[in-house]
């Protein structure tokens, strides 16, 4: 599948932004009394990332001016549900943040609702891809779970970084939480990759053409000498030969390096800088992972072209 | 709008005979000609005379080689367009309601003025039946020539999809596949018409008729060159034989 930059940016940044909102939703329960600046920066970063991602997702639309129409079919379409849920989450989280920042009234219930909504939003993002039966690599229960776990891991790391920026130290508890979230997310992702490599294709050129009853079938002539929309959109192959290397790079940048940086930051006095680097490294790893998510996926239609 | 109808009164669709198709691409051309001026946005081309021409087509003809266990391989021309599936995944993924399946005749259509051009329906279709137009940025697909089949301003024999009307080999047929007495249903029953990718669970309405088996005694390829060699008869023939025998 063609890896569109706008969609990669959308899923990675919105995912992390919503992840941070999930953690902020539970933050009223903590003992620390955060300053106004702390809240403004935390909520500000979460909203900025989530909204930037959502805006970016409209860039790949043929008609962005009609994007509002995508909010109408939530009863049947995961893409529509994702849009509705994202707006609902931002509204509830916005109210929660507003009351806390300006009126000093942190309403725990509102935070919890916004956290649950953010979780369901990220799940819906994953389901946009997981629902597509024609792309077997995506069409698995584990796909939305990966999206959820990466959202939490990204949110956890952002939360840790901001905490260190404000309080000078991240603390061992939050550092451990961030590391555990990273390890779980990437472990599941590695399992997703390994199990994905073992998929037996559901459709073949023989089943696609129905000619398998006669014998082994292969494409003799393409319908045209040039390319077409389907081949450009569904037939992306550039990345596949480097897939293994890119997987290592994404795990290295997304998990290993951030964990090393968290461990370095733990005893260091000026640890926030290390954690800023950890966030940058993680996001680079996530962009690689998300690029592979599209580039490695094979679509059933290509059986008509091989 | 994007939920599928439980059932449709009729199931209008195509039956394509793979035994007869000669791969002339006339259906591709006539489809583009009719539909670029018919329902919805035109079917544009990008760089039609440039180095890398691409364009929107609702119907394309692939050609496959099939190699049986024994005997020579055979070439099968394979026209492919929207199959107007009963369980169309392209319809339910649509976030705007632009994609829909009609409950009266089962035709799957796109309301282009509601289409945001997200491309998700093209991803959902395992057959590659939908193409985003490069100029209009809306999703295009076979309409089963909805602007011909009910059109009382054109002669009655023209009230079939353009591809069916134009096929010089009569490899394409149009009709109601829900009516067991229709010509297309009888054809499917007689010839063992089949679904493409039944494993995808889309329940396509369009059916394909398989190529008929090859004649068994034609297994060995005939050496045509030997038939063209001049063969002497009469006295010269006897002389030819005699001299050959002497060696």
pLDDT in tens, A240-254: 778 889 999 999 999
What is the Cα–Cα distance from B247 to B245, expressed in whole angstroms? 5
Contact assessment for residue A8 and residue A47, using Cβ atoms and an 8 Å cutoff:
no
Residue labelled with tokens 């059916």: B207
Domain of A260? 5-305
Indicate the residue of B123, B131, B210 with minimum beta-carbon distance to A228. Answer: B131
Answer whether B46 touches A (CB < 8 Å).
no
What is the Cα–Cα distance from B204 to B212, expressed in whole angstroms? 22
B208 confidence band (pLDDT: 50, 70, 90): very high
Which residues lie closer than 8 Å to A255 by C-beta, 6 or more apart? Answer: A182, A183, A185, A186, A282, A285
Which residues lie closer than 8 Å to A34 by C-beta, 6 or more apart? Answer: A27, A42, A166
Buried b (16+ CB within 10 A) or exposed e, A226-246: eebbbbebbbbeeeeeeeeeb
Q: Do A228 and B57 touch (CB under 8 A)?
A: yes
Helix (H) or strand (E) holding B132: strand B131-132
What is the Cα–Cα distance from B184 to B190, expressed in whole angstroms? 10
Cβ contacts of B217-223, under 8 Å, gap ≥ 24: B219/B70, B219/B71, B219/B72, B221/B72
Q: Do B210 and A79 touch (CB under 8 A)?
A: no
Query: Mean pLDDT over all residues of chain B?
Result: 92
Q: Do B131 and A300 touch (CB under 8 A)?
A: no
**Domain residue spans of chain B:** 12-218
Q: What is the dihedral of CA A158, A163, A169, A170, to 10 degrees?
A: -50
pLDDT of residue A137: 96
Q: Count the residues in chain A.
A: 306
User: Strands B45-46 and B108-110, how do they pair?
Assistant: unpaired
Closest of A200, A204, A157, A196 to residue A293, by C-alpha = A196
Q: Which chain B residues are within 8 Å of A135, Cβ to Cβ?
A: 123
Q: Which chain A residues are within 8 Å of B69, Cβ to Cβ?
A: 215
Helix (H, G, I), strand (E, B) or coil at B70: coil
What is the Cα–Cα distance from B217 to B229, expressed in whole angstroms? 23
Q: What percent of chain B has pLDDT over 70?
A: 97
ipTM entry: 0.92
Which residues lie closer than 8 Å to B31 by C-beta, 6 or more apart? Answer: B57, B58, B59, B81, B142, B161, B162, B163
| Residues pairing with A47 in the sheet | none
| Residues pairing with A180 in the sheet | none
Rounded to an integer, the average pLDDT of A133-153 is 97
Q: Does residue A202 register a pLDDT over 80?
A: yes
Q: Which chain A residues are within 8 Å of B115, Cβ to Cβ?
A: 62-63, 66
Q: Which chain B residues are within 8 Å of A232, Cβ to Cβ?
A: 54
Residue B156: CB atoms within 10 Å: 7
pTM of the model: 0.90
Cβ pairs A/B, distance under 8 A:
192
Picking from B26, B75, B96, B100 by the largest number of A CB atoms within 10 A of its own CB, the best residue to mutate is B96
Q: What is the dihedral of CA A115, A120, A122, A123, to 10 degrees?
A: 150
Residue labelled with tokens 């795990």: A251
What is the Cα–Cα distance from A246 to A244, expressed in whole angstroms? 5
| Residues pairing with B173 in the sheet | B15
What is the Cα–Cα distance from B124 to B92, expressed in whole angstroms? 9
Q: Does residue A236 register a pLDDT over 80?
A: no
Q: Does residue B2 register a pLDDT over 80?
A: no
Rounded to an integer, the average pLDDT of A155-163 is 93
DSSP A256: I
- B33: tokens are 């000609």
In 3-state terms chain A splits into helix, strand, coil percentages (rounded to 5) of: 75, 0, 25
Rounded to an integer, the average pLDDT of A39-63 is 93
Contact assessment for residue B116 and residue A62, using Cβ atoms and an 8 Å cutoff:
yes
Rounded to an integer, the average pLDDT of B162-166 is 97
Contact assessment for residue A261 and residue A277, using Cβ atoms and an 8 Å cutoff:
yes
> B10-68: per-residue pLDDT in tens?
999 999 999 999 999 999 999 999 999 988 899 999 999 999 899 999 999 999 999 99
CATH of the domain at A43: 1.20.1630.10
Query: Mean pLDDT over all residues of chain A?
Result: 92
pLDDT of residue A270: 66
How many angstroms from the chain centroid is the CA of residue A154?
Answer: 9
* Ordered alpha helix ranges (H), B74-205: 89-92, 120-124, 146-149, 162-166, 183-191
pLDDT of residue B70: 85
Fold of B12-218: Alpha-Beta Plaits (3.30.70)
Domain count, chain A: 1
What is the Cα–Cα distance from B31 to A27, expressed in whole angstroms? 61
pLDDT of residue A33: 63
Helix (H, G, I), strand (E, B) or coil at A24: helix
pLDDT of residue A26: 84
């Amino acid at each position: 599948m063609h890896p569109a930059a706008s969609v990669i940016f959308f899923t990675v940044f919105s995912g992390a932004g919503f992840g941070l909102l999930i953690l902020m939703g539970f933050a009223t329960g903590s003992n620390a009394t955060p300053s106004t600046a702390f809240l403004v920066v935390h909520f500000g970063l979460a909203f900025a990332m989530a909204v930037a991602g959502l805006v970016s997702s409209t860039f790949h639309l043929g008609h962005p001016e009609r994007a509002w129409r995508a909010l109408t079919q939530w009863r049947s379409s995961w893409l529509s549900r994702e849009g509705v849920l994202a707006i609902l989450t931002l509204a509830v989280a916005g109210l929660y943040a507003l009351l806390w920042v300006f009126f000093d009234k942190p309403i725990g219930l509102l935070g919890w609702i916004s956290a649950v909504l953010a979780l369901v939003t990220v799940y819906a993002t994953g389901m946009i891809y997981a629902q597509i039966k024609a792309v077997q690599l995506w069409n698995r229960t584990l796909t939305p779970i990966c999206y959820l776990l990466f959202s939490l891991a990204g949110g956890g790391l952002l939360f840790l970084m901001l905490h260190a920026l404000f309080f000078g130290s991240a603390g061992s508890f939050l550092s451990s939480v961030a590391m555990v979230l990273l390890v779980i997310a990437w472990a599941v992702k590695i399992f997703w990759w390994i199990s994905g490599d073992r998929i037996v294709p559901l459709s073949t050129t023989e089943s696609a053409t129905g000619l398998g009853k006669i014998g082994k079938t292969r494409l003799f002539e393409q319908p045209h000498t040039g390319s077409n929309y389907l081949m450009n959109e569904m037939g992306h192959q550039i990345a596949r030969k480097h897939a293994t290397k890119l997987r290592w790079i994404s795990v290295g940048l997304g998990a290993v390096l951030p964990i090393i940086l968290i461990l370095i930051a733990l005893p260091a006095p000026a640890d926030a800088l290390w954690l800023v680097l950890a966030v940058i490294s993680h996001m680079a790893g996530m962009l690689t992972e998300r690029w592979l998510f599209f580039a490695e996926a094979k679509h059933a239609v290509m059986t008509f072209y091989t | 709008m994007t939920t599928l109808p439980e059932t449709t009164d009729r199931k209008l669709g195509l039956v394509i005979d793979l035994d007869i198709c000669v791969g002339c691409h006339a259906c591709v051309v006539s489809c583009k000609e009719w539909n670029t001026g018919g329902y919805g946005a035109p079917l544009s081309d990008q760089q039609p005379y440039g180095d890398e021409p691409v364009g929107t087509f609702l119907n394309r003809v692939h050609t496959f080689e099939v190699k049986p266990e024994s005997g020579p391989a055979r070439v099968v021309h394979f026209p492919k367009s929207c199959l107007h599936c009963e369980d169309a995944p392209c319809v339910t993924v649509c976030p705007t309601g632009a994609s829909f399946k009609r409950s009266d005749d089962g035709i799957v259509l796109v309301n282009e003025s509601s289409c945001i051009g997200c491309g998700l329906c093209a991803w959902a279709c395992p057959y590659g039946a939908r193409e985003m137009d490069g100029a209009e940025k809306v999703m295009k697909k076979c309409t089963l020539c909805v602007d011909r089949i009910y059109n009382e301003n054109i002669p009655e024999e023209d009230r079939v999809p353009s591809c069916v009307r134009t096929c010089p080999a009569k490899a394409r047929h149009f009709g109601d596949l829900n009516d067991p007495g229709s010509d297309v249903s009888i054809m499917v029953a007689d010839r063992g018409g089949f679904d493409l990718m039944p494993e995808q669970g889309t329940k396509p309405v369009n059916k394909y008729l398989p190529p008929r088996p090859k004649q068994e005694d034609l297994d060995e390829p005939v050496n045509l060159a030997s038939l063209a060699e001049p063969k002497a008869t009469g006295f010269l023939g006897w002389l030819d034989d005699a001299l050959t025998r002497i060696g």
